[in-house]
């Protein structure tokens, strides 16, 4: 809830990698540029919520390799995760490249 997220809305960054993040809940990030949104979110936590995170304490999880690899060198922990099946085929050219799942993570 809001007590933990400090946000009461999902911010739609509208596939704009330069969008200034104003929530801890973000959607429509650009594939391959989600590190920009995460870094902006870390700055939002610091300036607006007065909570400073060390980058090595920040974690990002995604099912697409091209969303994880750009985090290399940022200091942020990024991991490609998901279940084994992608689910129904998406009608987007190349939509399966580098993806290992689409139905969410499972505890192990």
Per-residue pLDDT of the chain (108 residues; tens, 9 = 90+): 999 999 999 999 999 999 999 999 999 999 999 999 999 999 999 999 999 999 999 999 988 888 999 999 999 999 988 766 555 555 555 565 656 665 555 565
In a domain? residue 94: no
CA-to-CA separations, 86 to 31, 45, 83, 91, in angstroms, rounded: 17, 33, 8, 13
Give exposure, 46-73, as e/b (b: 16+ Cβ within 10 Å).
eeeeeeeeeeeebebebbbeebbebbee
- Best CA proximity match to 26, nearest among 6, 36, 40, 12: 12
In a domain? residue 85: no
Q: Which residues span the domain enclosing 32? A: 2-80
In a domain? residue 30: yes
In a domain? residue 103: no
In a domain? residue 100: no
Helix (H, G, I), strand (E, B) or coil at 38: helix
Distance CA 26, CA 29 (A): 7
Question: Into how many domains does the chain fold?
Answer: 1
In a domain? residue 24: yes
In a domain? residue 92: no
- Size of the chain in residues: 108
Rounded to 5 degrees, φ, ψ at 78 are -130, 140
């Amino acid at each position: 809830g809001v007590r933990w997220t400090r946000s009461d809305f999902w911010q739609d960054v509208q596939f704009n990698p330069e969008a200034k993040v104003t929530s801890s809940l973000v959607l429509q990030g650009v594939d391959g540029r989600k590190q920009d949104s995460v870094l902006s979110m870390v700055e939002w936590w610091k300036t607006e919520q007065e909570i400073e995170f060390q980058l090595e304490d920040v974690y990002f999880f995604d099912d697409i390799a091209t969303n994880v690899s750009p985090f290399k060198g940022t200091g942020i922990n990024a991991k490609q995760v998901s279940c084994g099946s992608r689910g129904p085929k998406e009608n987007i050219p190349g939509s399966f490249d580098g993806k290992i799942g689409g139905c969410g993570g499972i505890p192990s």
